[in-house]
A and B are shown apart, each in its own frame.
Chain A
Amino acid sequence: DTGVSQNPRHKITKRGQNVTFRCDPISEHNRLYWYRQTLGQGPEFLTYFQNEAQLEKSRLLSDRFSAERPKGSFSTLEIQRTEQGDSAMYLCASSLIGAQYGEKLFFGSGTQLSVL
């Protein structure tokens, strides 16, 4: 078990460019979450998948953001036409959904995005 892996760790881009991040969850986990975190704040929910199905997207997520989990394994988060306000840490988490409350989220180390 190597934990949740995110790539790249850091990304610097110019405003207007597209960026894509990758998340590899813990292998047997069927749920995958994307969160965004800005300095001094807690993680903010963006979207989540159960297996390959995207079940919910935050209303805060503009149409410039898209996420996929093509085979229920790794996931990608793409941001098109980046804006300076997109600068943040993008966190991926995975879990094994069960039949009761209190599931454990395992987070990756995140991708720090800086939009110049």
Chain B
Amino acid sequence: TQLLEQSPQFLSIQEGENLTVYCNSSSVFSSLQWYRQEPGEGPVLLVTVVTGGEVKKLKRLTFQFGDARKDSSLHITAAQPGDTGLYLCAEEYNFNKFYFGSGTKLNVKP
């Protein structure tokens, strides 16, 4: 059974602050995905990272994949209330099969 840990579990910050959330595994990822989920809705894919050391940017969001492909981070610059949600990472543990972490619940206060 894969062990995918996300930290912190909860994060409450003021609008304009920066933050970083983490995703760590005991095994090597084939690929890793980050999703954002709003209450009452399904997760929405933000990014997929495949190559060790890869960095991807999506507006104010920066995603990094560790060199050893066992960890990843998501950094948000100048957070806005619209960034509020549950951030989930999912590792591809077998070809096209995905295992999700428990998520980081982010609240950005105006």
Binding site for B on A (CB under 8 A): 4, 31, 33, 35, 40-45, 48, 56, 91, 93, 95, 97, 101-110, 112
User: Contacts A48-B97, A101-B92, A102-B92: A107 and B50 contacting too (C-beta < 8 A)?
Assistant: no
Return chain B residues, CB-CB under 8 Å to A45: 97-99
Q: What count of chain B residues pass the 8 Å CB interface test?
A: 24
Residue of A nearest to B30 (CB): A101
User: Would you call A43 and B43 a contact (CB within 8 A)?
Assistant: yes
Given A93-B42, A109-B40, 18 extra CB contacts under 8 A: A31-B96, A33-B98, A42-B88, A43-B43, A43-B88, A45-B98, A101-B50, A101-B96, A102-B31, A102-B48, A103-B96, A104-B48, A105-B43, A105-B98, A107-B42, A108-B42, A109-B42, A112-B40
Query: In residues 34-53 of chain B, which contact A (Cβ within 8 Å)?
Result: 40-45, 48, 50
Residue of A nearest to B105 (CB): A40
Residue of B nearest to A95 (CB): B96
Return chain A residues, CB-CB under 8 Å to B42: 4, 91, 93, 107-110
Return chain A residues, CB-CB under 8 Å to B97: 45, 48, 56
User: Would you call A42 and B96 a contact (CB within 8 A)?
Assistant: no
Q: A112 CA to B39 CA in the complex, in Å? A: 11
With both chains docked as a complex, state the minimum distance between the C-beta of B68 and any C-beta of chain A, in angstroms. 16
Residue of B nearest to A31 (CB): B96
